[in-house]
Structure 1
Amino acid sequence: MVTVVSHPLVQHKLSVMRDVRTGVKEFRELAGELSLLLAYEAMRDLELAPERLSTPLTSADFPMLSGKKLALVAILRAGLVMTDAITQLVPAAKVGHIGLYRDPETLAPVAYYNKLPADIAERRVFLTDPMLATGGSASAAIAFLKEAGATTIKLMCILAAPEGIAVIERDHPDVEIVVAAVDSHLNDHGYIVPGLGDAGDRIYGTK
């Protein structure tokens, strides 16, 4: 299942990120802001339960988060900007990291780091990566999460290509994808078109 967040604020901020004139500072800030807006939608189905609280006037039952605790897992390095932003919404969430890079020749994911919360199996997991291009890295990261015991996983991306979505739907049909937009296609180098370039390079100013 793919959820495209079509809110006007999301679409405007994404358009500014696409602009080649947008500098590192603004791009990074926009990525964080978009992540918050995506998280708002991705976490729409979190469980609530009534809890007795006292206001300055009286006591009553009010909805509070219940059910599984949360985990935010970033696919390094670009996913960090997303998890850092989302912790503003859910500061009690534990944070994990999966290090993957894409082999420039084969485009296959290569793992170099994997550090997850010890109780990942007991948490709802939100996996973050700004770009879902070939889908190889995200699929591999989801497989790592499942091997660690995670059973409830959502993939949050700023931008996706149909090819990447197809890979996740084939490999992990139980994982919902939440994105700001689905673009046209991948080019011969595995970049999303029209896209916004390399998200990691634009976030960290490395190119």
Structure 2
Amino acid sequence: MDSQYSELDYKLSQIKHHYGDNTHILNDPFCLTQLAKLCSPAVGQPQFNRLVEVLYQQLVVAVMNVEFPRHQATVHSRMKAKSHRGVFRGELIDHETEVVTVDIARAGTLPSQVCYTQLNELMNPERVRQDHLTMSRVTNPADEVVGATVSGEKVGGPVDSRIVLFPDPMGATGSSLSTAISYYKDIFGGKPLRMITLNLVFTPEFINRIKTDHPDVIMYALRLDRGMSSKEVLATEPGTHWEEESGLSEEGYIVPGGGGFGELMNNAWI
């Protein structure tokens, strides 16, 4: 074995913050550039969905590099026919790891499908599964969104000892994802190997909600939006004045954000 591959010391490039170890904000100029384009009002179909695909391909690779178990592998190359040294030995991602990706309709449908396809290309497809949840918002008498509930599901079985991914592009209040995570914990039981959220954008409010409700869950995002914070807070490292940070408008939309991704993905404005 060549010693350089015996133990991979992979380090994710991420933005420094004070939200804790389970929160990861990627420091990726390519993704930030593509995400800024995605959030621009000039971008519609079909470019919008294509950009979502490109960004989730990048995001799920980052998650696999950091979070997926590895093993020592031996792989014969084509040169093995000519030399007994034509063998690669080293640490690789363990392709027998069981993984579930959860489609939270409707904004999460395309991201989950992208992750599912990417996982099938790397892992043993027999150990990769895609589940589907339909969720509905819960409002109070003032028509304010106060939570979410699961109104339908197609779940393929238990999640014990599996990595469970929740690809949902816009992490705003965190109520929907928190409900989805609770659904798996409460209804299906077992102990997943890891539960991971994959967001294109999330807010300080989202991080706080997930960390409060599910401190075991790991969060990944391409961008943190806290655009409703004061100029003084924006000048500090994220999380320094967490209680003063905000990324949500009064209507609950992310700022600067990119509008309603579910509507944009489907050209359905309801």
* TM-score normalised according to structure 2 size: 0.72
Tell me which of 72, 89, 104 is aligned to 1:50. 72
Q: 1:181 Cα deviation (Å)?
A: 0.8
Please show how residues 129-148 of structure 1 align to structure 2 within 5 Å: 129-147=168-186, 148=188
Do residues 163 (structure 1) and 205 (structure 2) align? yes
Equivalences for residues 177-188 of structure 1 within 5 A = 177-184=219-226, 185-188=247-250
Q: Shift in Å at residue 43 of structure 1?
A: 1.5
Counterpart of 2:165, as a letter, is F
Change (3 A) 1:60 1:21: closer
Q: Relative to 1, partners in 2 of residues 1:145 and 1:52: Cα closer, same or farther, differing over 3 Å?
A: same
Confirm or deny that 1:204 pairs with 2:266: yes
| TM-score (norm: length of structure 1) | 0.93
What's the counterpart of residue 176 of structure 1?
218
State whether residues 124 and 150 of structure 1, in contact with CA within 8 Å, keep that contact through their aligned partners in structure 2. Answer: no
- Cα distance in 2 for partners of 1:32, 1:195 equals 18
Separation of aligned partners in 2, 1:42 and 1:101 = 28
Change (3 A) 1:168 1:26: same
1:31, distance to aligned residue in structure 2 (A): 0.9
Residue deviations 1:170-194 (CA, integer Å, cap 9, x gap): 0011111101111121111111111
Which residue matches 2:134? 99
Structure 2: distance between partners of 1:81 and 1:155: 15
SS in 2 for 1:40: helix
Secondary structure, aligned partner of 1:192? coil
Q: Report the more deviating stretch, 75-84 or 44-53.
A: 44-53
For structure 1, the residue ranges without an aligned partner over 5 or more in a row are none
More displaced stretch, 51-60 vs 191-200: 51-60
The correspondence of residues 100-115 of structure 1 with structure 2, limited to 5 A, is 100-103=135-138, 105-107=143-145, 108-115=147-154
In structure 2, relative to structure 1, the CA distance for the partners of 1:71 and 1:192 (3 Å cut) is same
Conserved in 1, the CA contact under 8 Å of 2:103 and 2:113? Answer: no
1:89-123 CA-to-partner distances (Å, cap 9, x unmatched) read 21122101121132352411122112222132231
My pick for the range that moved more, 142-151 or 120-129, is: 142-151
8 Å CA contact 1:125–1:150 kept in 2: the answer is no
**2:50 alignment counterpart:** 29
Please identify, of 134-143 and 63-72, the stretch whose mean Cα deviation from structure 2 is larger.
Answer: 63-72
The two structures, once aligned, show a CA RMSD in angstroms of 1.7
Q: CA deviation at 1:77?
A: 1.0
**1:89 match: secondary structure:** helix
3-state SS, counterpart of residue 102 of structure 1:
strand
| Greater RCO (CA < 8 Å, at least 6 residues apart) | 1
Are positions 1:65 and 2:93 aligned together? yes
Q: Which residue of 2 aligns with 1:3?
A: 24
Give the stretch that moved more between structures: 164-173 or 85-94. 85-94
Cα distance in structure 1, aligned partners of 2:173 and 2:261: 14
Relative to its length, the structure with more strand (as a share) is: 1
| Aligned length, in residue pairs | 207
Name the aligned partner's letter for residue 102 of structure 1: R
Q: Tell me which amino acid in the other structure corresponds to 1:204.
A: N
**Identity score, percent:** 24
Between structure 1 and structure 2, the one with the greater Rg is 2
TM-fit CA distance, 1:27:
0.9
Which residue identity lines up with residue 93 of structure 2 in the other structure?
L
Q: Is the 8 A contact 2:103 2:132 kept in 1?
A: yes
